[in-house]
Amino acid sequence: MMNFFDVSLEFSKDGSSRIAVAVHPGVVGTGIWRGLPNWVNMFTERFMISKDEGAKHIENAMFNSGYENGKYYSEGVETKYNEIVEEVGRRKELREWAEIIVKEGKEREEREGRGECGEEMGHTGH
């Protein structure tokens, strides 16, 4: 989210027609939670949208000229940011915190001999 603010600011300065928007596709039923008990999944599935519906929200942001630079859209509707990210001082603080977390995660993966997504490094799959 912090990089998004930087990009949208740069796009507004350069005079081009490019824009940067933040898009939340919605709560998409990807199957990521299938390891949870069935009763939990039966309850939560009511609130999820299909993968195709979620993709449409992202696709609309890419190709629909009705989106504005620097705005946040949730399920295709312009939405207010969380108040925390609207405070400029907090943005810097959140960015620094996020960078620390990402760095620590990468270091942990390297120590454990894993690449992105937890894949074992050097494993060919044969």
Q: Is residue 73 part of a domain?
A: yes
Residue 2 in this model has a pLDDT that exceeds 80:
no
For residues 69 and 86, state if they share a domain. Answer: no
> Is the pTM here over 0.85, yes or no?
no
Domain presence at residue 90: yes
In this structure, the answer to whether residues 4 and 47 fall within a common structural domain is: yes
119 belongs to a structural domain: no
Q: Check whether 8 has a pLDDT greater than 70.
A: no
Residue 93: inside a domain: yes
Residue 120 domain flag: no
- Over residues 94-98, mean pLDDT: 76
Same domain flag for 18 and 75: yes
pLDDT at 52: 94
- Helix (H) or strand (E) segment spanning residue 11: helix 2-14
pLDDT in tens, 20-45: 788 888 889 888 888 889 898 888 88
Beta strands in 12-111, from DSSP E residues, in sequence order? 22-24, 72-74, 77-79
Structure tokens at 53: 């519906």
- Domain region containing 44: 1-81
Q: Provide CB contacts within 8 A for 57, sequence distance 6+.
A: 23, 24, 25, 26, 73, 75, 76
Q: Do 11 and 17 meet the contact criterion of CB atoms below 8 Å apart?
A: no
